[in-house]
Structure 1
Amino acid sequence: MKWLKWVLVALLVALLLTGGLNPILEHLSDKNWLSQYLRYHGWTGHALVAIAAMLFVGLGGPRQAVAFMFGYIYGVTVGLLVAIGVCLLAAMGNYLAARMVFAHMLARRFPIRMHKFNQFASRAPFMKILTLRLLPVGSNLVTNLLSGSVGVPLPAFLGASVLGYFPQTLVFTLVGGGINAADHSMIYLSVGLSLLSFVLTGLIYRDHLKHKLSKLNVESNI
């Protein structure tokens, strides 16, 4: 696994140094430019656009912009799958980088924040990461780095990320693909998932507060 990690890093650095990703990153929000680029570069262009989008999200760019772009390029169904795949790979890259490289540095620089996040995510990590993914506020990059640094189990992190990314990604993919061209059932599904995400977030947050209160009561009785 270690050699694969370094091969991927070397490949990404090579692409950046040779300028292969620079024009794509510069025009990532220009759907007309991207359409023309893909028309001339074929499968190589599609691969480079996916890598550029992954780098964009991995560095903290908004996932919604990527979902909109892939919805426009590929349509709703394929665009949704590609957007979630790209965002998931970017999140896993952040997670692994934090776990293997930056954990000690982050612990020294942000000890209080790391401790608070560890307390938050240590109990039911899948549900806690899902809560953070569903919330419309907060930094996707910070969640990824903290999760890797405190050792949130990778299966729970990835599973919660897929489910948590789905509602907003579907909404913006629908917008990018054109609401008029989308199946009405997909539109209803996106609205329903968005409402469900708010309800689920409230329930999970209530459970977290209830656990904190019960812990305080136990400590006060000791």
Structure 2
Amino acid sequence: MVNIVQFTQSEPHSIINTLLLFGFLALATSCALPRQIAALVAGINLGAVMGAIVATLAVTVGCWLTFSVSRYLLAARVRARYPDKINSLSDFIAEKTFLKVIVIRLLPIGSNFLTNIVAGVSKVSMKAYVSGSLVGFIPQMVIFSLAGSGIRLGAKTELIASGVLFVIALLLTAYLVKVRKKNSKNATSVN
């Protein structure tokens, strides 16, 4: 087996090596590799900017692959077994799907793989789900690509920047959750 990290470090800006890394990360994230690890590997091999771009696109393709397999191969069986749960999930995420998916992706918790499977078996729009995921992935991809680049270069600046961005992402996530809870309470009190 070829060591992908060592292989791409020999010529980090080679188009072929970048495409190989992209394909590997897309396939690996579609099979449950955490997106943060994908960004870290891309940052180590390609630097902060190119690593963030490649990792974001690869993780988005991995998201689409898992969503598609779930939608076209698993959905009928899962819907038949858990119709009430799938219907309530579909109803919840169907309204403002793009924005809700961005919020879900900003949260640094949960399994990307399981989220893609659950979304695939629901009745959400694939376009809104995948595009919302793409936008929601960006902050973590930048943070972990910067960290990977800092590890590669031994640069404190990239490591500090990634830590600051991580804290900002956590604060933004907490704010969005607070707004969501407040909106839910207001909607409940109106009814």
After TM superposition, is the score higher than 0.5?
A: yes
Structure 2 letter corresponding to 1:35: Q
8 A contact 1:71–1:80 mirrored in 2:
yes
Q: 2:9 aligns with which of 35, 50, 54?
A: 35
Deviation (angstroms), 1:67: 1.0
Give, in angstroms, the shift of residue 211 of structure 1: 4.8
Distance, in Å, in 2 between the alignment partners of 1:184 and 1:212 is 40
Specify which of 136, 159, 167 is matched with residue 108 of structure 2: 136
Match status 1:96 vs 2:68: yes
Q: Distance in 2 between matches of 1:174 and 1:208?
A: 30
Letter in 2 for 1:72: I
Distance in 2 separating the partners of 1:159 and 1:187: 29
- SS of 2:130's equivalent? helix
Q: Distance in 1 between matches of 2:38 and 2:158?
A: 23
Q: Which of 150, 170, 188 is the matching residue for 2:142? A: 170
Q: Quote the RMSD (CA, aligned, Å).
A: 3.1
Q: How many residues align?
A: 189
Letter in 2 for 1:32: Q
User: 1:114 aligns to what?
Assistant: 86
The question of 1:204 aligning with 2:176 is answered yes
Name the structure 1 match of 2:25. Answer: 53
2:32 and 2:112 in contact (8 A); partners too? yes
For residue 117 of structure 2, the aligned residue among 133, 145, 151 is: 145
Deviation at 1:196, TM superposition (A): 4.1
Of 143-152 and 196-205, more deviation after overlay is shown by 196-205
Q: Within 2, Cα distance between the matches of 1:78 and 1:94?
A: 24
Unmatched 5+ residue regions in structure 1? 1-22
> 1:86: how far off?
0.3
C-alpha contact 2:149 2:158 (8 A) present in aligned 1: no
Identity of matched residues, %: 25
Aligned with 1:82 (options 48, 54, 60): 54
* 1:66 counterpart residue number: 38
Moved more, 81-90 or 168-177: 168-177
Residue ranges of structure 2 left out of the alignment (5+ in a row): none
Amino acid paired to 2:79? A
Q: Which secondary structure does the structure 1 equivalent of 2:109 belong to?
A: coil
CA drift of 1:85 comes to 0.7
Shift of 1:141: 1.2
Instruction: Say if 1:59 and 1:141, in contact at 8 Å, map to a contact too.
Output: yes
TM-score by length of 2: 0.79
Conserved 8 A contact 1:130-1:160: yes
Distance 2:44 2:175 in 1: 34
Q: CA deviation at 1:156?
A: 2.5
**CA distance in 2 between partners of 1:201 and 1:46 (Å):** 31
Shift of 1:157: 1.7
**Greater relative contact order (CA < 8 Å, ≥ 6 in sequence):** 2
1:139, distance to aligned residue in structure 2 (A): 1.0
